[in-house]
Amino acid sequence: STSVMNISEHLSCPLGFGHYNAVDICILETVVIVLLTFLIIAGNLTVIFVFHCAPLLHHYTTSYFIQTMAYADLFVGVSCLVPTLSLLHYSTGIHESLTCQVFGYIISVLKSVSMACLACISVDRYLAITKPLSYNQLVTPCRLRICIILIWIYSCLIFLPSFFGWGKPGYHGDIFEWCATSWLTNAYFTGFIVCLLYAPAAFVICFTYFHIFKICRQHTKEINDRRARFPSHEVDAAGETGHSPDRRYAMVLFRITSVFYMLWLPYIIYFLLESSRVMENPALSFLTTWLAISNSFCNCVIYSLSNSVFRLGLRRLSETICSSC
């Protein structure tokens, strides 16, 4: 009971109106944070191990970006250990402000990497479908590695002004009191982030996937017309070896992208509203923040359920672990 009361004093729990209700809310928030931290770390470690154990997954050029996202999401889970441990070890003064700034910066950079990787994946699939003959010359392992390095550099630079007092990078958690009361958002910095990160990534993804599915739909229609005119095995073989595998793989990646934006859209909307001083609700701040962070675990679930090669690699990994045990 004493430890719970100490936790409630260290956390700013805006959802509770009475003292005991605030303690209950603090316990609920603690359970959410600890559970998400465990799921994110465990899920992304599984993805990383499966990619190392399933050579077939490396045949896709997008595996570079998927693995980069897995490492970024794993670091998100590791970073979430900071608020988890802060529930037991509370610091004040300069240490609290520095911890809050570093944590917010790291989380923002890591999610920026995920967002940029999703945009690059959509461009990669767009090139694979629109330029199948010259794709291998355009997309090489060396260029992919350079692209990933540039993604990390860009993500680190775009949020760097937050350390010089120009707004908040986007984290709205209520774990540290200094984060909620002293570190305020700035409308200009928010507009800067939206214009250089959120909006371009969303535009690229919408443009590429729109044309991907448009081309695949046209291709499917052409195959159906050929089957109707010339019902032969040659047409069926041509249809099976055409854009069908690319379309299925594009659908997997489209699901990952859709879930990403569904979980991040409430956070981005609240980020804009708070920056413009239209709304300030600590309860919504907590919910939208950790809903967005939960995406780091959802990527693992979607990929494992949607990709047959990944499921095969996961099964082999499970069999290896079980046999060694």
Domains and CATH numbers, the chain: 27-226+245-324 (1.20.1070.10)
Q: How far apart are CA 74 and CA 70, in angstroms?
A: 6
Closest of 98, 111, 50, 88 to residue 293, by C-alpha: 111
- Report d(CA 71, CA 324) in Å as an integer: 26
Predicted local distance difference test score (pLDDT) of residue 5: 43
For residues 204 and 208, what is the distance between their CA atoms, to the nearest angstrom?
Answer: 6
Residues 6+ apart with CB under 8 A from 201: 115, 116, 118, 119
pLDDT in tens, 174-212: 566 677 777 777 888 888 888 999 889 889 988 988 888
What pLDDT sits at residue 147? 94
Letter for the amino acid at 173?
G
- Which amino acid is present at 33? I
Among the listed residues 104, 26, 14, 61, the one whose alpha carbon sits nearest the alpha carbon of residue 292: 104
CA distance 246 to 62: 12
The whole-number pLDDT of residue 232 equals 56
Q: Which residues lie closer than 8 Å to 184 by C-beta, 6 or more apart?
A: 167, 168
> Cα angle at 171 between 169 and 175, to 5 degrees?
140
Provide the pLDDT for residue 12.
45
And the tokens for 267?
Answer: 């956070």
**What whole-number distance in Å separates Cα of residue 315 and Cα of residue 311?**
6
d(CA 2, CA 12): 17
Q: Cα-flanking dihedrals φ and ψ of residue 88, to 5°?
A: -105, -30
What SS3 state is found at 40? helix
Q: Give pLDDT < 70 ranges for the chain.
A: 1-25, 54-60, 84, 86-94, 171-177, 230-250, 303-309, 325
pLDDT recorded at residue 157: 93
SS3 173: coil
pLDDT at 156: 93
Q: What is the dihedral of CA 308, 309, 314, 320, to 10 degrees?
A: 130
The Cα 293–Cα 29 span in angstroms is 14
pTM as predicted = 0.78
Angle at 83 between CA 80 and CA 89, to 5 degrees: 135
